[in-house]
Chains A and B, each alone.
Chain A
């Protein structure tokens, strides 16, 4: 018996108290967000209408910044790269993360060890990992050596075996790196929810004669819907803002041939290499709109994702 009867009894003050508690509990985070995030967004929206330099505005431009952005080939490339990156990396990250979480949740021996091991790429210094990756993917690096071992000659490829340095393969190489390093965090997200699924559910399934594969697809996977939503949303938002590896591997110019120019890199350049804050703010607003749209679309697709109770 759910407590609907009770709630209905003194509906007025009950709900009012609940609403008050709700607002109270979220008050401090919302205030901080308002000041440091939403406030910054409105500030950016305002200055995007100006030619705004380090020391302040110099000229009112209206929407000229936006017109310029939409006409800029480099920005088109940046959008294309960011979108491509996101569409490819997110499913891979989710799949790897989910697999790792399920595996870690199931195995018995050495569970702690594997749990630590799988999360490790997310902990370990990204400087070391990126540098190592650059070494490994160099024309005379380990990866090409392994390819040669299995009879493939990478130097004959179009990119001459220069995975990170050639415009055709640079972005895909970054995808390879990031899919792997972020999977640890995705695993963590999934694990948090996975461990909350009571074992009785599995026992019931087994009693009904379900095999492991069926159990996974029919029971575990759907039960993880809140986790899927979390992981997918966070992944997409993060992927659309990919900056660090593009910057380290390609330099601030998005070399080679703009293949590593991402939207945030474009924003960064506008602000801190061209010192045009108004323009950078406009880029930020465009970026925000794109990400927000993507998130809304996801919300539609995954439903409101409330798993239990209609509260």
Chain B
């Protein structure tokens, strides 16, 4: 049975290669495309649901012959999607988180999009590179377009900072002084995660890197170590505490419950604070500068088309609408998400976050990265508990990374 499917898939691929792509250049006419297209993603908050419906209404107005069947997935998205992929029955258009993009690209479940973009005319130059590159394979092919993007920035409680007579820190050195000042007033300066998806921003800030630019080898060096040491030091000095040490499940709650004065999170903080802690004041400011300048992490999700999608043309139209300037504008104008294109204006109050995209590094690396992530996180937590040193963290991460790089 398995070999059957492989043969069929191979034959289809061959046919496609000979036949010149999904419809060729000149024979593709958007007005002739009709039918149903299945859209999927994970469960959105009601506000996101409304924004998405508005965007889909805009799509319907532009392409009345195409019906969108929205089938969201509740709960564990990757698990449910993998089941569908393995049965060759993916949705037509669906979300892909930048963290899993390298794996899904490598395993061949996503449709490459460059040929269509050039033959059917879709402008990808306006996407922030930090976001778009997350969905490119190691040989430069694109497999998805970012539907929005988020970066890490610094959110702080102005009242708490004023009580200690300090301004938000502008550099890593500042962070130490501010930390000391707040600590002397009996406050916890920073609620900081002990996971790579926050710490890496500081590593980048100190000029460190996980991977070489061609993503073929690890680039862990002394600057990487500097970033890690700095971060760990904040804990050792008592300026920073982890969320679990503060008795909360994430940094946003620490800010809301005033257990910490400064946190490093992304745009998702806004709807959380508005809904759960409406009376706690906070302000956004860009990440402080490290030894190598400003750096932050960019988290993004793409819309992608399934390789086995039965409706590729309709899927393409939906994809390019939602990630094009018109669809994205509708999607982001209410503030539920930040645009990933430069030609879509930033929603009110999100300037800091959107502007940070210009120095954001994508959170997307190599296939099998989750093991490296786990290795780093567990080693770092051990170090925070005093059970390991920075060198242990470095060596464990390096060996996990090398192992993944050496996989075929």
Given A254-B378, A258-B378, A272-B78, also A55-B86 (CB < 8 A): yes
> Can you give 8 contacting A-B residue pairs, CB < 8 Å?
A55-B9, A141-B247, A166-B244, A167-B385, A256-B382, A269-B371, A271-B82, A274-B370
Is A284 close to B, CB under 8 A? no
Closest to B368 in A: A274
Chain B residues within an 8 Å CB radius of A269: 370-371, 374
Tell me if B31 is interfacial: C-beta within 8 Å of chain A: no
Identify B408's interface contact among A59, A141, A272, CB under 8 A.
Answer: A59
Chain A positions 50 through 71: 1 when the CB is less than 8 Å from some CB of chain B, otherwise 0? 0001111101000000000000
Report the separation of the CA atoms of residues A184 and B246 in the bound assembly, to the nearest whole angstrom. Answer: 32
With A55-B109, A138-B247, A253-B373: A275-B82 Cβ-Cβ less than 8 Å: yes
Query: Could you tell me the distance between the alpha carbons of A270 and B144 in the complex, rounded to whole angstroms?
Result: 24
| Cβ-based interface call for A140 (8 A) | yes
In the bound complex, do residue B86 and residue A139 qualify as a contact, i.e. CB atoms below 8 Å apart?
no
**Interface of chain B residues 343 through 396 with chain A (CB within 8 A):** 367-368, 370-371, 373-374, 377-379, 381-382, 385, 387
A49 is an interface residue with CB less than 8 A from chain B: no
Min CB distance B398 to A, Å, is: 15
Contact of B382 among A56, A162, A257 (CB under 8 A): A257
CB-CB contacts of B245-266 with A at 8 A, as 1s and 0s?
A: 1111100000000000000000
B interface size (C-beta, 8 A): 38
Are the CB atoms of B378 and A139 closer together than 8 Å?
no
Known pairs A54-B109, A141-B247, A253-B373; list 5 more (Cβ under 8 Å). A55-B85, A55-B107, A139-B245, A165-B242, A256-B382
Asked if A281 CB lies within 8 Å of chain B CBs, one says no
* Best-buried of A139, A140, A164, A253 by chain B (most CB within 10 Å): A253
Asked if A256 and B385 make an inter-chain contact with CB atoms under 8 angstroms apart, the answer reads yes
Interface size of A by CB at 8 A reads: 34
Contacts of B248 in A (CB 8 A): 138
Whether the Cβ atoms of A54 and B242 lie closer than 8 Å is: no
Q: How far is the CA of A273 from the CA of B76 in the complex (A)?
A: 11
Q: Please, which residues of chain B bring their CB within 8 A of the CB of A272?
A: 76, 78-79, 82
Query: What's the Cα separation between A253 and B86 when bound, in Å?
Result: 24
The docked-state distance in angstroms from the alpha carbon of A248 to that of B374 is: 16
User: CB-CB < 8 A to B2: which residues of A?
Assistant: 56-57
Q: Nearest chain A CB to B280's CB is how many angstroms away? A: 18
Q: Cα distance A292–B408 when bound, in Å?
A: 34
Least Cβ–Cβ distance between A204 and chain B, in angstroms: 55
Report the separation of the CA atoms of residues A256 and B379 in the bound assembly, to the nearest whole angstrom. Answer: 9
Query: By CB atoms of chain B within 10 A, which of A54, A59, A255, A276 has the most?
Result: A54
A160 close to chain B: CB less than 8 A: yes
Chain B 232-248 interface 0/1 with A at a Cβ cutoff of 8 Å (1 = within):
00000000001011111
Q: Which residues of B contact A271 (CB under 8 A)?
A: 79, 82
Q: Does A134 contact B (CB under 8 A)?
A: yes
| B5 and A257 contact, CB distance less than 8 A | no
Interface centre among A258, A273, A277 (most CB of B within 10 A): A273
- Write out the residue numbers on chain B whose beta carbons fall within 8 Å of the beta carbon of A140: 247
Q: Is B108 an interface residue (CB 8 A)?
A: yes
Q: Which residues of B contact A166 (CB under 8 A)?
A: 244, 385
Interface centre among A56, A134, A140, A164 (most CB of B within 10 A): A56
Determine the distance from Cα of A252 to Cα of B242 in the docked complex, in whole angstroms: 18
Asked if B385 contacts A134 (CB within 8 A), the reply is no
Given the complex of chains A and B, what is the CA–CA distance between A255 and B367 in angstroms?
21
Note all chain B residues with C-beta closer than 8 A to A168.
Answer: 385
Contacts of B371 in A (CB 8 A): 269, 274
* Proximity string of chain A (124-135) to chain B, C-beta cutoff 8 Å, 1 when within and 0 when not: 000000000010
**Taking CB as reference atom, which chain B residue is nearest A166?**
B385
CA distance A167 to B367 in the complex (A): 28
Task: Specify the chain B residue showing the minimal Cβ separation from A249.
Answer: B244
Please tell me if B103 contacts chain A, counting CB pairs below 8 Å. Answer: yes
- Which one of A256, A273, A276 contacts B78 once the chains associate, using CB atoms below 8 Å? A273
Per CB-CB distance, the 3 closest pairs between chain A and chain B, nearest first, are A165-B244, A138-B247, A253-B374
B333 CB, min distance to chain A CBs, angstroms: 34
Contacts of A164 in B (CB 8 A): 244
Residues of A within 8 A of B74 (CB): none
Contact of A253 among B5, B367, B377, B385 (CB under 8 A): B377
Residues of B within 8 A of A252 (CB): 370, 374
> Is B61 part of the binding interface, using a Cβ–Cβ cutoff of 8 Å?
no
Give residues of chain B (1-53) contacting chain A, Cβ–Cβ below 8 Å: 2, 5-6, 9
With beta carbons under 8 angstroms apart, the residue of A56, A139, A256 that contacts B5 is A56
Which B residue sits closest to A253, measured CB to CB? B374
Partner of A273, one of B6, B107, B370, B378: B370
Cβ contacts under 8 Å, B249 to chain A:
134
Residues in A175-218 with C-beta less than 8 Å from chain B: none
CA–CA, A256 to B78, complex, Å? 23
